[in-house]
Amino acid sequence: MIIAIISIFWSVILAPAAAVTTPVQVKEPDVCYVCHAEIQELGSRKHQHTAFAKGVCSACHNPHAARHNALLNDDVKSLCLSCHDDVKGKMGLASVHQPARDGDCLICHDPHASQLPKQLKHNAPALCEGCHPASAEWRKRSHVHQPVAAGNCLTCHEPHGSSHGPLLTKAMPELCFTCHKQDAPLAAAHKGFSLVKADCGACHDPHATSLPGLLMPNQHAPFKAGKCTACHVSSAAAGEYALTADVKTVCLKCHQNILGSKAYQHNLNDPRSCLNCHNAHTSSAAALLAAPQKDICLRCHFSGDKYKGRKKEDYLTHNGLECANCHTPHGSDNPQYLKSQGEDICIGCHTDAHKGSHPLGPNVIDPRTNTPVTCLSCHKLHGADFKPYLPLNPAMELCIQCHRR
């Protein structure tokens, strides 16, 4: 036995180098299907991923080990974009679909094969409704835009990225005029004003509504009464819907009582001021809001390099409470447009908080700021990493900020 082992040892040592270093040849994908028969069955589907159709599993998967799930050669986003240059080119556009931006390609596409074009997991509108459940309700309304009724979301929207928000295939009104002729009846319905630069979405819901003409149900009083000159110059020749003054001046002419003389006034110095949050003519939301409250706030807040790597939704706290529960949307005498200061803003809901634990109030001074300890000395309203809304680990790190001895 020992002689046999020694003989084998020397036969390997003395063997030609080529015989020792020649890699084992495997037939791909047959060797993969030995274990992954369920993947092999996908070969009967009509639309197949190029690598899958060619049987080159290793184009996406490492056969031995990987740092990524499913033995992928790279993270999903990087892997997909390494081949799909057309999609990669859209990642830098003004409006990028969130799944594409986050690399969640598999939300919409099957990586191997599908019965649907583009390897989609479902047809529209079912695919879109998976993330946009409100779209399922649109078709139940009395007046539904034809592409919505037909489930053709891609008539108006790009699936990955667009130069126009929100993922529109063209800017308005050009997009609308691909179907709606600029004829005499259309001009008459808009009182002769030029539609060359019109924002159709300022009056019409692009999906569905309860009113004819897809007009949104909540209407600004002057608009509903047909008194365009309350805000606009009387002559269409003066410009496309030209205002009688800047936005702030026009709005405050009637709504001065909303702002008053607050120390902190929200967006008033921005050229669009009120129009950042409100539609001037009609809206599907109360108070002529241009979108649901949280969506409006997230348009501006929690953006930029500081917040990269986290979804904006991570900053929506307090079980989906409206932002206006704590903040005043137009103006306040308190920083961050808070409705009140100190612990007063919290005890309206948290009536029993800290009654028998951490002291609060004007006689308890935070050594870091030399100001009274409030709820916000330890808790954050948004984006905290620890429960309950704590920015630091309460096991020790949070406490030693003040209690070092």
Residues 284-300: tens digit of each pLDDT: 888 999 888 888 898 88
234 has pLDDT over 50: yes
What's CA 165's distance to the chain center, in Å? 12
Nearest-CA neighbor of 331 among 234, 255, 218, 253?
255
pLDDT for residue 165 = 87
Query: What is the residue-averaged pLDDT of the chain?
Result: 87
Confidence of residue 32 (pLDDT cuts 50, 70, 90): very high
Which residues are CB-neighbours of 157 under 8 A, at least 6 positions away?
166, 167, 168, 169
- Both tokens assigned to 376: 């916000």
Span 11-15, mean pLDDT? Answer: 49
Backbone angles phi, psi at 289, to 5 degrees: -65, 145
pTM of the model: 0.71
pLDDT for residue 5 = 46
pLDDT for residue 13 = 46
Cα–Cα distance, 148 to 139 (Å, whole number)? 7
pLDDT tens string 182-225:
888 998 888 877 888 888 988 899 999 999 999 999 999 999 99
Confidence of residue 22 (pLDDT cuts 50, 70, 90): low
Contact present, 391 and 369 (Cβ < 8 Å): no
pLDDT tens string 244-296:
999 999 998 998 888 767 888 888 888 889 999 999 999 988 899 988 888 88
Span 357-366, mean pLDDT? Answer: 85
142 has pLDDT over 70: yes
Residue showing tokens 């009637």: 254
125 has pLDDT over 50: yes
72 has pLDDT over 90: yes
Looking at the DSSP bridge assignments, the partners of residue 204 are: 215
pLDDT for residue 239 = 56
pLDDT for residue 8 = 45
Nearest-CA neighbor of 157 among 100, 76, 214?
100
CA distances from 288 to 203, 221, 278, 292 (A): 11, 11, 5, 10
Residue showing tokens 């917040």: 307
What's CA 294's distance to the chain center, in Å? 11
pLDDT tens string 146-156:
999 999 999 99
pLDDT for residue 10 = 44
Nearest-CA neighbor of 145 among 160, 158, 157?
157
107 has pLDDT over 90: yes
